[in-house]
Structure 1
Amino acid sequence: MFVLIPAFEPGPALPGLVADLRRADPDLDVLVVDDGSGPAFAEVFAGAREAGARVVTHEANRGKGAALKTGLADIAVHFPDADVVTADADGQHTPSDVLRVADALREDAGRGRSALVLGVRDFGGDVPLRSRVGNAVARSLFRVATGRRVTDTQTGLRGIPADRIPWVLGIPGEGFEYEQRVLLRLAPDGVAVREVPIATVYLARNASSHFRPVRDSLRVLMPVLLFASSSLAAFVVDTIALFVLDLVTGWLVPSIVAARILSATVNFVVNRRVVFRARDQAVTGQAVRYGVLALALLASNIAWMSFLTENGLALLPAKVVTEGVLFVLSYGVQRALVFPRADAAPPARTVRADTAPLVTADPDAMTTTPITGRIR
């Protein structure tokens, strides 16, 4: 098993963390990725090497997500059967908590279970206000975006089973937002998750952290928020048109159809131009796919609205309930099928060292030392 530590301009705690991990569990191999910290931090990384870690270096800073991917790809190539625990370099993760996550991976492996293990904090005690508020906001945004509750969406202490490393490598992202993208893909990709309680540790009021909880959370969740705004605008258009047409004609189903055609047109234009920024792709194919989705949603809308109103629910509450149910489905389908990203990374595959070179997005941007260690 490996402990993977991405590090950008780390403090002096890094060598001690490596030494403590190696002393606590000699079966753990430690891989540190220097994400372009520069010569000023050479002594820290030299100390990590002396403590028993292998260090891989990016020549320039590329972001935490890129550093994690470099380390995971390295391990997947040379030790494809090894599970990985990712930990931060700033001392927030104690050796005992790292070992707790590692033990959870071993326990899952013994039971034939494959789950992403999250070391989660409860944010009790003396926690800096910006961290407490930032993480609360991040948790709320995540729940709004996914409908799922995760206790600590910002934790960098995670256990990744060997068979899930190709999946993790296939998720796009280079910076801090990458770790949240991984969590956002859990439900759509059917990946199990397990939470392990860990200590809440902030050294020097978290002064060494490069993470900005609210800003970085908003960065990854912005498409969802824009989609919600676009859907709200379409909902307003749809609702007004529905009430006007139903009032004038007295025909519910034709009114639903006409209102939906109008609101769908507005929604398609806004989503294409603003939400998914897919203006460089062929509009005809997008329109056809969107039309098929709109018809499916329309059929569902009619079925739900008819059922609810026929069973005594007023028109407006029936409309709100129906649109809420269809919102999540619509977002997922539009993101994946209607407006797919042209630059989305393909799923990664595990490659053995004897059949291919190290998997990395930019081989010239990193240096490394020979692999030593054992497969676990």
Structure 2
Amino acid sequence: MGKIIPIVIPAYEPDDKLIGLMDNLVSAGFSPIVVVNDGSDRETYGHIFDEVKNRGAIVLEHEVNRGKGRALKTAFEYCLNEFEDMLGVITADSDGQHTAPDIKKCMDALGQNPKSLVLGVRNFDESGIPARSVFGNKTTSRVMKLLTGLSISDTQTGLRGISSEFMRYLLTEKGDRFEFETNMLLATKSLGIKIVEVPISTIYLEENKSSHFNPIVDSVRIYAIFFKFLFSSLSSSVVDIALFTIFCGMMRGRSLPFDYIMLATIMARVISAVYNFLINYKVVFKSRSNGLWAAVKYAILAVCIMLLSGALVSFFHGLIPASPEFVVKIPVDCVLFLVSFLCQREIVYK
């Protein structure tokens, strides 16, 4: 390969599996190996880090627990400063899930794809995998594909090959805990970084009891990036429907040159669209595109969705005239919500 590829292992309150992993890596000839002690109690876990250091690892220390994301950033900064001739790093977990042969496979893949993000992916259809891990990984993969367009079979894998250039960018990426790894995946899309998946062994020891991933707290952190879009869209829909209902009540029964439902749709949608654009541009998609050009594309999309909404609501309300207009509007706009999201993701804020 020419350039070196350090192995980075963040560790918080590890057990003897970290020592076993270190032995396997040393036996396989891997070097350098950077281990980050993320605030583990010295009295209880100090001997493990001493053993790792005695086997040749570089051990970096956090005085207090700062999270996996922060530990990875600490290692990235160290490697970028210390290893000038570095292609990138391989990150691995300390809990025995990643083997030396699998790490070697990811290292080879990074060497062949130096500008890509390499993921060591597990097969969650195998038997014997803890139910919480199967559910968590499959759910996150499906949600990510729906909301971002990224098709990743193992979104929570800790075995990754990361180029030096991408590492520099990740030093400024948000997230200090498990959500950092999700943010890393999302960053590949905005930066145009290809993802290369490498099949690895699916290993869960003792039902994965040594994992510090909290299914509730950490899932909330991970899904928070998705909740922002849902909040933006739902709050915009509430504004739109509330204004639509008010305008229908004001114009129903009046002599107007236009269909009152279409007119109410246009007036409500213009106001809610401005609100929605500002939130999506600044908060949700954090678009780097020109604001004016994004606004033009959004306006075109909003007009198309608005006209479709008005036409479809008028059509279906004509079929069931006894029903309130907003009752017809809600299911119509639910379908158009998905259409709008896909267009915003791929065209407006890409």
**TM-score normalised over the length of structure 1:** 0.72
Aligned residue for 2:118?
117
Match of 1:221 in 2: 223
Q: Which residue of 2 aligns with 1:259?
A: 268
SS in 1 for 2:175: coil
Provide the C-alpha distance between the structure 1 equivalents of 2:91 and 2:78, rounded to a whole number of angstroms.
14
Aligned match of 2:173: 171
Q: Which residue of the partner structure matches residue 38 of structure 1?
A: 41
Query: Is 2:32 aligned against 1:18?
Result: no
**Structure 1 residue 268: deviation in Å?**
8.1
- Taking structure 1 as reference, are residues 116 and 223 closer, same or farther at Cα in structure 2, changes over 3 Å only? closer
- What does the per-residue CA deviation read over 1:157-186, in whole Å, with 9 as the maximum and x for residues that have no partner? 000112221122121111111111111222
Say if 2:262 and 2:310, in contact at 8 Å, map to a contact too: no
CA distance in 2, matches of 1:223, 1:160: 22
Q: What secondary structure does 1:194 align onto?
A: strand
What is the correspondence of 1:223-372 to structure 2 with a 5 Å cutoff?
Answer: 223-235=225-237, 237-238=239-240, 245=248, 249-250=258-259, 254-264=263-273, 296-303=297-304, 322-327=336-341
Hey, what does 1:54 align to over in structure 2? 58
Q: Which amino acid aligns with 2:56?
A: G
Residue 146 of structure 1: which of 145, 148, 152 is its match?
148
User: What amino acid sits opposite 1:298 in the alignment?
Assistant: A
Code of the aligned partner of 1:167: Y
**Which digits, 9 at most, give the CA deviation of each residue in 1:43-81, with x for residues without a partner?**
111111122211111111111111100001000011133
When residues 7 and 334 of structure 1 are mapped into structure 2, their CA distance, relative to the original with a 3 A threshold, is farther
Q: CA deviation at 1:264?
A: 4.1
The equivalent position to 2:186 in structure 1, one of 156, 171, 184, is 184
Closer, same or farther in 2 for the Cα pair 1:213/1:139, shift >3 Å? farther
Are the equivalent residues in 1 in contact too, given 2:38–2:64 (CA < 8 A)?
yes
Counterpart residue type for residue 142 of structure 2: S
Relative distance call for 1:224 and 1:328 in structure 2 (3 A) is farther
Q: How far apart are the structure 1 equivalents of 2:294 and 2:165?
A: 33
Instruction: Give the match for residue 202 of structure 1.
Output: 204
TM-score by length of 2: 0.77
2:97 alignment counterpart: 92
Question: Which amino acid counterpart does residue 324 of structure 1 have in structure 2?
Answer: L
Question: Residues 321 and 100 (structure 1 numbering): CA distance in 2 closer, same or farther, change over 3 Å?
Answer: same
- Secondary structure in 2 aligned to 1:148? coil
3-state secondary structure, aligned to 2:189 = coil
Deviation at 1:222, TM superposition (A): 2.0
Secondary structure of the 2:56 match is coil
Q: How does 1:1-16 map to 2 (within 5 A)?
A: 1-16=5-20
Following the alignment from structure 1 to structure 2, what is the Cα–Cα distance between the partners of residues 314 and 104? 55
User: Partner residue of 1:345?
Assistant: none
Native 8 Å contact 2:269 2:306 kept in 1: no
CA displacement, residues 206-250 of structure 1 (integer Å, 9 cap, x when unaligned): 111001245423213224224314413423553575586597631
Aligned length: 316
Letter in 2 for 1:263: S
Q: Report the AA paired with residue 182 of structure 1.
A: M
In 2, the alpha carbon distance for the partners of 1:202 and 1:310 equals 54
CA deviations 1:285-313 (Å, max 9, x no partner) are: xxxx99996675333222455589999x9
Counterpart CA distance in 2 for 1:292 and 1:165 is 30
Q: 1:237 to 1:247 in 2, by over 3 A?
A: farther
- Does residue 77 of structure 2 align to residue 73 of structure 1? yes
Tell me how far 1:331 sits from its aligned partner: 7.8
Amino acid at match of 1:146: T
Deviating more after overlay: 318-327 vs 200-209: 318-327
Letter paired with 1:121: R
Residue 149 of structure 1: CA displacement?
A: 1.9
Give how far 1:192 is off: 1.2
Q: For the structure 1 residues 276 and 304, does the alpha-carbon distance in structure 2 shift closer, same or farther, using more than 3 Å as the test?
A: closer
User: Following TM superposition, by how much is the alpha carbon of 1:120 offset from its aligned partner in structure 2, in angstroms?
Assistant: 0.6
The answer to whether the Cα contact below 8 Å between 2:305 and 2:340 also exists between their aligned partners in 1 is no
Identity among equivalent positions (%) equals 35
- Whole-angstrom distance in 2 between the partners of 1:147 and 1:300: 19
Give the whole-Å Cα distance in 2 for the aligned partners of 1:198 and 1:134: 18
Q: Distance in 1 between matches of 2:269 and 2:184?
A: 34
Q: Aligned Cα RMSD in Å?
A: 3.7
Mapped contact 2:117–2:195 kept (Cα < 8 A): yes
Change (3 A) 1:161 1:175: same
Residue 57 of structure 1 aligns to a residue whose secondary structure is strand
